[in-house]
Amino acid sequence: MLYILHGEDDFSRHQALEEIKKSIGDQTALTANTTVFDGPRVTVDQLRSACGAMPFLAERRLVLINGLLERFEPRLKSRRGKKNSSVSNRQDEYKPLVEYLSQPPDSTILVLIDGKIKSQNPLLRELSARARVMSFPLLRDVKLRQWVQKRVQEKRGTISDQAVDLLAQFVGGNLWTMAGEIDKLILFTSGRRIEEDDVRRVVSYVQEASVFSMVDAILAFRAARAEQLLEQLLQKGESAAGLLVMLTRQVRLIVLIKELRSQRKSELQIMDRLRIDKEFVFRKALEQEGRHSSARLKEVYHQLLEADLSIKTGKYEPELALNILTAELCQRR
């Protein structure tokens, strides 16, 4: 039996793989009958050897191949409109793999595991009719909110629609993180319904949301709002030095996103390049990048660095430096 699990939602991919493992039988015996291959390097001979081996004290073997489809992803053409010869050769390699993978031995469960794959991937196209294909794109909007509701119910909890919306806004489609935040909220509420206020008090992304709001206010010269948010964060126990670090990091992120977008990089390429794994952080930074000029962003960034230097050299205490900085940044020149 051949399975293909692909998509950016690695949480759901992992759950699907666990269900496949459970369907095979005794998990202790399965451990001794599982082989894992690195897709970019695996050969047909290696697969033939692993899949053809008789299971040890069990009925089935499990063979997992990570990243095999990615190995044959169509690449962009060169500037002259010709494909790189090494890429063409690599894509030709899929043919013997198709021939073998199409009919694995009855004693073997074969699973290909990949991230986001294009529909024109030659190996995926050839194997789709012969395999059970499961696609796991990142959940967004309605589907993400439905997933949150279902997850809370599975944990024997209840949650208001407003709390669901806030969770989706703060956490986004990273279901590993979302599952952890839901677990925390279930414990925190101890049987009562999860409300918006619980999300604001418990979810770790709320702090980042407040920092983004403060950056918004500073970039838009809204002094009263920026000072209000600063005071709220300080009252919650955040250190002035720590807040300055977070503000600097967020503005730097927005500057880098603007530069990469000017190079016509896609959103996925930008997230990969900057190693952003929090969709909420990326979406907010992307939104702010579109609203403010490079000149304004760089001006704020350099002033943040100067404030950090004034603290480290002892010129100002951290809280005083942050208050002076906020006032100066919100003054129109």
- 56 vs 212, which has greater pLDDT? 56
Report the pLDDT value the prediction gives residue 85, as an integer from 0 to 100: 46
The CATH number for 249's domain is: 1.20.272.10
Distance between CA atoms of residues 260 and 330, nearest Å: 27
| Joined tokens for residue 210 | 């407040």
pLDDT at 328 (0 to 100): 86
Domain coverage including residue 298: 206-329
Q: What average pLDDT does the structure give for the chain?
A: 85
In this structure, the answer to whether residues 198 and 211 fall within a common structural domain is no
Asked if 52 and 171 sit in the same domain, the reply is: no
65 and 130 co-located in one domain: yes
Q: Which long-range contacts (CB under 8 A, 24 or more apart) does 74-78 make?
A: 74/118, 74/120, 74/121, 74/122
In contact, 194 and 148? CB cutoff 8 Å = no
Across 90-94, 185-189, 213-217, 262-266, least confident range: 90-94
Instruction: Show the tokens assigned to 5.
Output: 């699990």
Residues 168 and 266 in one domain: no
How far apart CA 328 and CA 303 sit, in angstroms, is 9
Q: Is residue 131 domain-shared with residue 30, that is, in the same domain?
A: yes
d(CA 221, CA 35): 59
**Global confidence as pTM:** 0.63
Do residues 285 and 316 share a domain? yes
Do 111 and 197 fall into the same domain?
A: no
CB 168 within 8 A of CB 144: yes
Residue 171: band (very low, low, confident or very high) from pLDDT cuts 50, 70, 90: confident
If phi > 0 it is left, if psi is from -120 to 50 it is alpha, else beta; for residue 60 that is beta
In a shared domain, residues 178 and 287: no
| pLDDT at residue 285 greater than cutoff 80 | yes
Dist. CA 164–CA 186, nearest whole Å? 13
d(CA 144, CA 150): 10
What does residue 62 show for φ and ψ, rounded to 5 degrees?
Answer: -120, 125
pLDDT score of 207:
63
Question: How many domains in the chain?
Answer: 3
Between 51-55, 163-167, 233-237, 296-300, the lowest mean confidence (pLDDT) is in: 233-237
Cα angle 46-47-53, degrees, rounded to a multiple of 5: 95
The answer on pLDDT for 310 being more than 70 is: yes
Q: Which of 218, 193, 252 is nearest to 322 (CA)?
A: 218
CATH number of the domain at 166, please: 1.10.8.60
Stated as kind and residue range, the H or E segment containing 169 is: helix 161-171
Measure the CA–CA gap between 68 and 74, rounded to whole angstroms: 13
Roughly what angle, to the nearest 10 degrees, separates helices 267-274 and 240-262? 140
Q: In this predicted structure, what is the pLDDT of residue 87?
A: 47
pLDDT of residue 233: 77
